[in-house]
Amino acid sequence: MNKPLRFLFFVGLVLTTSAFTECYKPVGRGDFLPKHIKTLAIPAFQNQALRFKVEQRFTGAMVDEVLRRNRSLNVVATAEDADAVMIGTVKNFFLRPVLIDDLGRARLFEVTIVVGLTVRDQTKNKILFDNPSFTYRGEYEIASDPQSFFSEEGPAVDRLARDFARSVLTTILEGF
């Protein structure tokens, strides 16, 4: 009598758990893009902000992040051979002092970068993602000793570009 009861319990448990396998979709799978998109073109971003090499940093950060996060997606530079294309434009670059020391010198700066970004499905001619004003902010500090001065603007822009790429790719791949 004990064995048939155990068997029925086991069969019920298996049926119950197998019925819910499609209900749970873990976050972070990165399959929000349509299945037919295998190649993504990321041409160099445009620079309307007229800040030296900022578009190169953002383009490079985006390519690096796509390659790091989604190994099944091939990245190409030209839109002709791609299933989808990502078009980016650095629209504005603002730099302002946030903290001033006793001598009136700026010690902490805030960098604000505004980027327009569009991802278009080339095969179906459909826009998958569009944000005309992605705004990113970051800070950097200047050393108080003039002897050890090093401009932190470049590394700060690199950090902003990496954070921007992570955020955009999470939004695009995860569908947030």
Distance from C-alpha of 149 to C-alpha of 165, rounded to nearest angstrom: 29
pLDDT at residue 143, as a whole number: 67
* Cβ atoms < 10 Å from Cβ of 136: 18
Mean of pLDDT values over 26-39 = 70
pLDDT at residue 24, as a whole number: 42
pLDDT at residue 27, as a whole number: 44
172 token code pair: 């695009």
Distance from C-alpha of 59 to C-alpha of 86, rounded to nearest angstrom: 10
Q: Place 28 in a pLDDT band, splitting at 50, 70 and 90.
A: very low
Whether the per-residue pLDDT at 87 is higher than 90: the answer is yes
pLDDT at residue 25, as a whole number: 45
pLDDT at residue 11, as a whole number: 64
Query: 158-168, pLDDT tens digit by residue?
Result: 988 999 899 88
Supply the CATH classification number for the domain 33-174: 3.30.160.150
Mean of pLDDT values over 145-166 = 79
* Cβ atoms < 10 Å from Cβ of 56: 14
Whether the per-residue pLDDT at 18 is higher than 60: the answer is no
pLDDT at residue 149, as a whole number: 61
Q: What is the pTM of this model?
A: 0.74
Distance from C-alpha of 41 to C-alpha of 176, rounded to nearest angstrom: 22
Report yes or no: 149 and 122 within 8 Å, Cβ to Cβ. no
Report yes or no: 51 and 12 within 8 Å, Cβ to Cβ. no
Mean of pLDDT values over 115-135 = 93
Rounded to the nearest 10 degrees, what angle do helices 153-174 and 54-69 cross at?
A: 40
